[in-house]
Each structure stands twice: as C-alpha cells, then as structure tokens.
A = this chain, B = another copy of it.
C-alpha cells in the first residue's frame, strides 16, 4: 500500500498566477517555488514580496481539484486493470506491462479461436463451398493436419462418395462433423498425414492440400436433388 500523504500539495504560490511556465527558458527572473510540508504556506517571491497575493486561494483550490481529478482518473484506470487481472489466466501478481501483454495474447487467441469455430461448423450456407487448409497450430509431432469442409445439398451417397475420394489420398480421417439445415449439409473433415522424408516440405503439403480440394470438389459437383436425411430429421412445419 502506498504510504504517502495524499493531502500534501506542491504549490506554486507566487503571485504570477498560472502564467509562469517555469521549466522552460521563458523564466529568466529569479523565481522559486516553495513546497510546504505542513499547513502554512511559505512564500519566497523573487522581488516584490510585499505585493498582495489575492489569487493564492484560487490557485490552491485549482491545483487541489486538478490533483483530485487526476487521482480519480488513475483510480478508474487501475480498477479496469484489476478487472483484467481477474480475466487473464496467470497469477494475481503481475506487472502492469506484462498484464497488458497477456491481455493482448488472450484477445488474439480468442479471436482466432472464435473465427475458427464460427467457420468450423456453423450452419450450411446457400452456396456450394469447398475449402482446405493446413493446420499449423500443432506443428510438433510426426504428422500434420488439414482441415477441410464442403457445403452442398445433401444426397444419400454423399458420405460414401466422399470416403471413396479421400481413400485414394495419403491422409487419414481423424474426425468428421456434419451439420444440416433445410436440405443442405456442411461436412467438416479433420485429415492427418504422417510426416516423413517424402512429404516434409511445404511443396508436398500444398500438393496434398490441392489434391484434397480437387477430390472434394469432385464430390460436391456431383449435384443431386435427394434430401433423404433432411426428410428424416427436418420434417415440414408441424
């Protein structure tokens, strides 16, 4: 806890009012500022010590309200900082700068995650889509992964057609997610490929990605009007 005395003021108590800009080269006369530790104000005026300082009280009041305003501002900022401390995973004790850096990472990570999740499975769109991307997030182990999805009208042999096409590629199906809405279907595939000396290059990975894209496009382009699944799961209005 800070132990300073918040009621002590550093006062500019000369009679020049607020016009004096000490600290800059404009002040050439022997002005001096006196800091009073207690209740009385000690004045050391440069030359005219006898002049009536009528605006002294005004200056004191202005300075006081100023410092109080600044104090409130700091309190507001620190309150927000404290709230952020509670929102980031780390410990309670954290540098202000480190905390902000942590918040930045958190926001970036969350944004990436939500963006990913929103296109992950969402509802199917009205237009046919095929997308394939290399997942770089877990570039550790002996394999790498692709995330792909297609969006098209549902037809009964869509799934088996898709499997057929993917079987000819050197990838394994790790996970699949299906979402349907009003006769349309969106299927997300998580595909993994073993990393070895033959394919551990950017070119090889991009080749596989484009192969996946081509295979899936092939499936999507085979249009069909069948809506068997949607008939089962999404009957007409009751």
Contacts and interface: CB of A to CB of B under 8 A. Distances in A.
Given A8-B22, A87-B111, A107-B110, 4 more contacts: A8-B24, A80-B101, A103-B103, A175-B180
Copies in the complex: 2
Interface string A7-51: 010100000000000111101101111110110001010000000
Contacts of A4: 23-24
A77 B100 contact: yes
A167 to B, nearest CB: 7
| Size range of the chain A interface in the assembly | 35 or more
Nearest 5 interchain pairs by C-beta = A80-B100, A110-B110, A8-B23, A117-B117, A177-B179
Contacts of A235: 163
Interface of A: 4-5, 8, 10, 22-25, 27-28, 30-35, 37-38, 42, 44, 73, 76-77, 80-81, 83-84, 87, 96-97, 100-101, 103-104, 106-108, 110-111, 113-114, 117-118, 120-121, 123, 159-160, 163, 167, 172-173, 175-181, 232-235, 237-238
